[in-house]
Every structure is written in C-alpha cells, then in structure tokens.
Amino acid sequence: MAPCLASHQAELQPLYSSVLLAISPAALRELLDQSSTPMLSVPLTSVVAPLGLASPPLQWDAQMVAQGIVAGDASWTAQHLEVLLGCTSGLDPASIEQLLGSSAAAIFNCLGDAAMCSTAVEVLQSMLSSAPTSAVSSCLPALVKSLLLVFPNGDESCRNKVAVLIGQVAEMQNGAVKADLVAALKAAPDLLQVPELSQIVN
C-alpha cells in the first residue's frame, strides 16, 4: 500500500496508518528492519504472477512510510515511534529535516513517558545526528521545553536516558549545535538546576 500513497494519499492515508499502528511494536521493529529481506514487497505468489506480469520491486519507501505515519492528529503511541525508528536509516538529510518539522514536537513529548522514552531517544539520536545543522538548531528550543516534562520530577529512567541524549546532542555534528543548545538551556532557568544539564552549559 505504501507505494500507492504518492498518488492516492488522501484516499489511502487513514487506512494505511491504521494498519501500521495496529501492529505490535515488536512486530513493527522486525517488519521495518531494513537490514533484512524487505517484508513489505509484493511476493511472487501474489496476483501479479498469474497475470503474467513481473513482480515489481515494491520495497517500502522510508519517506512515504514516515510521512504516512505522522500525518494523523491522534496521540502518539509506541507504534508511531517504532515506525519512525524503522524509517530513519533510509532517509536522506533533506527528508529528515522535513520529518523533524512535522513530528519533532510529538517525539519530544514522548520523552517523559516511561513506556516510550527509550524508543523516542533512539529516534532522536538517529534523526538529529543526520539532519542538517540548521534543522537541529531550529528544533532545540522545543526540545528544551519538553525537558520540563522530565526534569526534575519525571521518571528516573527517563531522566537518565534523556540526560545522555542531551549530552550527545551537544557533541553531534562536531559540536556545531552546542552553542544553540546552551542558549536554549539558559532560556529555561529551572533546567540549569539539574546537574546533568547544567554541566553542558558550564
């Protein structure tokens, strides 16, 4: 269904998203594993073979899948994050920039949820390390704002994972965005009381 989204997005998008989001997170991770044989392609035993047609190379398109999953307005679930995690390695920097623009706020909000924090961190590690520097810098204020959901009273496991992520962001792309990260943190004085974050500023 994913290859058809480009030409029939309005008609297929709700159905496509609902199918993906109905799959369990573990199954999604296996299904979207690009290092293995694609499971989202048309098999030779499908209807195209009896019709005498060669099976087309309908390997799933990471950009179309990612755009499809973030297009809805529903609250995000673990499945949303698993789909994005499966897509990020197949996206070029320009596509990741576009995806950040449409999904960053939703991903950031997942950082404070103990059930989704780990996957949200993985998604952000992948996206922010590959996105253009300008795209990373532009989303930092929203990222820092979301930290107020985690620090100082959020889930301890989330705090630890997010603190590591913020430290990694400071060093990403050879430190190109550290100054912007520091500026964003300084604009949120409450966060400067958090030792793991204040050391980045200092």
Per-residue pLDDT 10s for the chain (202 aa) are 655 655 666 667 667 777 777 777 677 667 666 555 444 444 444 444 444 444 444 456 677 777 777 776 567 888 889 888 888 887 889 999 998 988 898 999 999 999 999 999 999 999 999 999 999 999 999 999 999 889 988 899 999 999 999 999 999 888 899 999 999 999 988 888 888 888 887 7
Straight-line distance from the first to the last Cα atom of the chain, in angstroms, rounded to the nearest whole number: 50
Residues 6+ apart with CB under 8 A from 157: 114, 117
188 vs 167: CA distance, rounded Å: 17
86 vs 2: CA distance, rounded Å: 14
105 vs 123: CA distance, rounded Å: 13
